[in-house]
Structure 1
Amino acid sequence: MNKDAPRYRWSIAPVQTSLRERLAVDCDLSPLLAQCLLNRGHAEPGTILNFLDPRLKNLADPYLLPDMQLAVERLVAARESKTSIVIFGDYDVDGVTSTALLLEAFGALGFAVNGYLPNRMEEGYGLSSEGVANCLEKFPVKLLLAVDCGSTSVEQIGCLAQRGVDVIVLDHHQISDPPPEPIALVNPRKNPTGRFHELCSAGLAFKLAHALVKRLRELNCPRAEAFDLKPLLDLVALGTIADIVPLTGENRIFATRGLEWLNTTKRAGLVALKSVAQTNESIGVHEVGFQLGPRLNAAGRLENALQALDLLRATSIAEAKPLADALDSCNGERQKIERGISEQVIGAVRARFNPETDFVIVEGQPLWHIGVVGIVASRVLHEFYRPTIIVGGEGVEWRGSGRSIEGFDLAAALRECDDLLIRHGGHAMAAGLTIDPEKLELFRTRMNEIARCKIKPEELKPVLRLDAEIQLSDLTVTSVTELERLKPFGSQNPSIQLVVRGVSHQRAPQRIGKEGQHVKFRVTDGKRTFDALWWNCGTDTTLPKVMFDLAFVPQINEFNGNSSVQLKVLDWCSV
């Protein structure tokens, strides 16, 4: 392998000169920002201005969602008859924030409502028979609102109907074929060519609350007249960002305005959570994704997510602090378990990995914690860039999670292994499965056979998509600040990634960090010079020597009241 070769396949977006220049003039933008917008599919001045200035007033009518009218009618009827409702949620951040949001909104609007979150270990995901039985034993109701689950629960919803329990499903996941038959299936995927496919369940919960408020105001309900939806946006931002759904469409509005509320929230649980997570003063996508979200997720991964729900519903710091401390401790335990399994898997795979023949990594051991196997799969994929499936458990049924690479549909591959699996489901890039451990070796062989036919050799090297080739002279505090108008960055709205050609070191690279795992460059083209930081590149990474091309993210560095441009290194290639 050529050590001076880039780690990635560089893909530089084509320059659209005439369109770029027209948009720059029409929208009063720099050509570089106009090009970055074009790269993200924004080519019309009207949509560009809305994208750059996302406002709540641009949210669409919630009644445009499938079955929203039916859901609201049944809920309003329950309120009028004082019928109790149970919200059956999920144990991840999206499910917990959705449940907390609806409990808060329904309570304020005068509903008799309770919430239930299934136990991952004992009841499994969604409307399982165990979860539904335990829920109805605790809350014997005639109306169940399934949130962030239920779109494939044909049998359970049918059984509930026979028992006289009405079900409303509020979900964003794939719908089974045949679909379930609740009294309302509020899922954007019910209309394959319709809107709102970007929304997660937290966004859908906000839309449901909005629809209810509108209807109850039409009925002259004083509670609805007094209720303000905007303070719920902190929960919507948490769920939306943590669920890694596209930050486009209405999600861009929810994330942008929700982060504003999250930064100033008086919600006791989030104040306590920010404190134990030691977040920056300014909360953004990174802080939600890597500090707040994992702590809310940790309880559901290892035990029961009820602590996370209780935290979000806490009414005082005294109530919230011990819950936040418990989640912080749980997250530390989760990290320890995850790190141990990851090191075990990576070490075992590295010892025998053959990049020419190993197309899919499948690993499993008894007692590997099923709450962290998905995270472990992501780490292993990052290390080897191969579709990865990690399973664990005990007895005759092991459960696992898989993560894939571009070009390999993981869910489709699992369908080709249906005879080897007990259960499976998911989508192209992530999936879950249950398997008899005695069939694990056959499964590994089959998956590699499938991948060998589907994956092209060049697809086994990750793609680095670059927005534009520029000169160092193009980078100023003003120009980089303008690029930040594209924030918040996330899925389908990636950070700005650029390339500069033919730079060199002004001085020798310097390894920094406890173990020298980061590298600081001082790069120059002979006219302009910038600091460049390569984070977590490893201690034995080959560094560029004489002249090289550099792929990077431009950033603003604030230090001692001064602002300067620095480069976050992504990759390099010798010239």
Structure 2
Amino acid sequence: MIGPRLNASGRLSSANYGVELLLTQDNDKAKEIAQYLERINHQRRELDRHVVAESMDLVNESSDYQQQSVLVLGKHDWHAGVIGIAASKLVAEYSKPVVIVGIDDTIARGSARSMGDVNIYQLLKECSHLFTSFGGHKLAAGFSLKPENFGKFKETLENIVKTSITKDILVDSMSLDMKLETSDISFDLIDTLDTLGPFGHGNPNPTFYSDQFKVIDSKLVGNGKHLKVTLQDEKTNQCFDGIGFNLANKLSVVYNKTNHIAYSIERNEWNNQEKIQINIKDIK
């Protein structure tokens, strides 16, 4: 995948490398840049794993962290280029908003990710008197502050969320567009949906619902992180390939059962063959 490699240069060095790769007409130059981006992306993954591992150690070793509605974690030498990625992974792991701060000698940089109905931007705004820069939106925000103010910031935010966050708003809800019959799933429908794009923030990919799919085969892929399944409609016996990114924890509860599934559909091309793929967003 080229996207993470282009992003890695901006996170760890300069985004100009990615731009130059896309614009150059020189094959040798393109190869040289591509090899550099591959090295940078490997470094990015290592830094990300380091921050995630140390963050989880901090949480798991402290009962105070486990009782907090928002996790505020900070440490010296955590690279600012990967703290946002790490925060997203910890949100998925602990099902609560996460703020990660990388602290240097002269500046501390923070990145926040949220979930459910928690407006992380508004919560951080109440601490903005401690920041030297600040911006974001409901689900994600970033800021910087003086290193000596990190402790005060952590204390302030943890006190704010004690009265602002209740368990009901930590539920990660999902909007479903409609229940879709298996007989309606087709390449023609995918082509029609494509005319509604491009999809992204503010225009999400349509999410459908079904209670007719039975998981007849399942396994973990992607270093054990993702759930790959074969789904069979109980009425028609029609089968589809399904993939659930970061849904490895669902493996033990879905097999050989009729499941409630929230999903999107897309065209998947592999070895010159086209198939319809079910992208599972949640399964119960």
Per-residue deviation, 1:313? 5.2
* Counterpart secondary structure, 2:91: helix
Q: Which residue of structure 2 lines up, in the alignment, with residue 538 of structure 1?
A: 248
Match of 2:168 among 450, 458, 463: 458
Greater share of strand: 2
| Distance in 2, Cα, partners of 1:399 & 1:356 | 23
For residue 528 of structure 1, report the CA deviation from its aligned partner: 3.7
8 Å CA contact 2:118–2:169 kept in 1: the answer is no
2:117 counterpart residue number = 407
Is 1:510 paired with 2:218?
yes
Is the CA contact 1:401–1:432 (under 8 Å) kept in the aligned structure 2?
A: yes
Distance 1:503 1:431 in 2: 38
Name 1:423's counterpart in structure 2: 132
Q: Is the 8 A contact 2:60 2:66 kept in 1?
A: no
Contact preservation (8 Å) 2:59, 2:65: no
Distance 1:540 1:300 in 2: 34
Distance, in Å, in 1 between the alignment partners of 2:160 and 2:181 is: 44
- Please name the residue that 1:525 is paired with: 234
Evaluate the alpha carbon distance shift between residue 327 and residue 447 of structure 1 in structure 2; reply closer, same or farther with a 3 A threshold.
same
1:444 paired residue among 154, 160, 167: 154
Say if 2:278 is the partner of 1:547. Answer: no
Counterparts of 1:298 and 1:561, CA distance in 2: 30
Confirm whether residue 346 of structure 1 aligns to residue 56 of structure 2: yes
SS in 2 for 1:464: coil
Which residue identity does 1:510 align to in structure 2?
Answer: S
Q: Give the Å deviation of 1:564.
A: 4.1
The aligned counterpart of 1:330 is 40
When the two chains are superposed, the root-mean-square deviation of aligned CA atoms in Å is: 3.0
Aligned pairs (5 A) from 1:560-571: 563-571=274-282
Give the one of 355, 368, 393 matched to 2:103. 393
Question: What is aligned with 1:380?
Answer: 90
8 Å Cα contact 2:68-2:158 kept in structure 1: yes
For the 8 Å contact 1:477–1:563, the answer to whether it is kept is no
1:473 aligns with 2:216: no
Is the alpha carbon distance of 1:304 and 1:450 closer, same or farther for their aligned partners in structure 2, counting shifts above 3 Å?
A: same
Equivalent residues of 2:103, 2:109 under 8 A apart: yes
Cα gap change, 1:398/1:477 in structure 2, threshold over 3 Å: closer, same or farther? Answer: closer
Number of the residue aligned with 1:297: 7
State the 1:382 CA deviation: 2.8
Determine the C-alpha separation between the residues in 2 that align with 1:521 and 1:433.
43
Counterpart secondary structure, 2:69: coil
> Given the superposition, is the C-alpha separation of residues 354 and 570 from structure 1 closer, same or farther in structure 2, using an over 3 Å criterion?
farther
Instruction: Describe how 1:26-175 pairs up with structure 2 within 5 A.
Output: none
Per-residue CA shift, 1:42-82, capped at 9, x if unaligned? xxxxxxxxxxxxxxxxxxxxxxxxxxxxxxxxxxxxxxxxx
Tell me which amino acid in the other structure corresponds to 1:399: R
The 8 Å contact of residues 472 and 525 in structure 1, kept in 2 or not, is answered as no
Relative to 1, partners in 2 of residues 1:426 and 1:355: Cα closer, same or farther, differing over 3 Å?
A: same
Distance 2:19 2:186 in 1: 45
Relative to structure 1, the CA distance from residue 525 to residue 403 in structure 2 (aligned partners, 3 Å threshold; closer, same or farther) is same
- Unpaired segments of 5 or more residues in structure 2? none
TM-score w.r.t. the length of structure 1 is 0.44
Q: 1:480 to 1:353 in 2, by over 3 A?
A: farther
User: CA offsets, 1:8-62, max 9 Å, x none?
Assistant: xxxxxxxxxxxxxxxxxxxxxxxxxxxxxxxxxxxxxxxxxxxxxxxxxxxxxxx
Given that 1:413 and 1:447 are in contact with CA atoms closer than 8 Å, whether structure 2 keeps it comes out as yes
Q: Deviation of residue 469 (structure 1)?
A: 1.0
Q: 1:572 is matched with which residue?
A: 283
SS in 2 for 1:486: coil
CA separation of 1:423 and 1:306: change in aligned 2, threshold 3 A: same
User: Taking CA–CA contacts closer than 8 Å with sequence separation of 6 or more, which of the two structures ends up with the larger relative contact order?
Assistant: 1
Matched, 1:493 2:207: no
Q: Is the CA contact 1:481–1:556 (under 8 Å) kept in the aligned structure 2?
A: no
Partner in structure 2 of residue 369 of structure 1: 79
Query: Could you tell me which amino acid in structure 2 is paired with residue 524 of structure 1?
Result: D
Kindly state the Cα deviation for residue 437 of structure 1 after the two structures are TM-superposed: 4.0
User: TM-score scaled to structure 2, two decimals?
Assistant: 0.82
- Which is higher, the Rg of structure 1 or of structure 2? 1
SS in 2 for 1:408: coil
Q: How many residues align?
A: 280
Give the secondary-structure state (helix, strand or coil) at the position aligned to 2:253. Answer: coil
Aligned pair in 2 of structure 1 residues 352, 461: CA closer, same or farther (>3 Å)?
A: farther
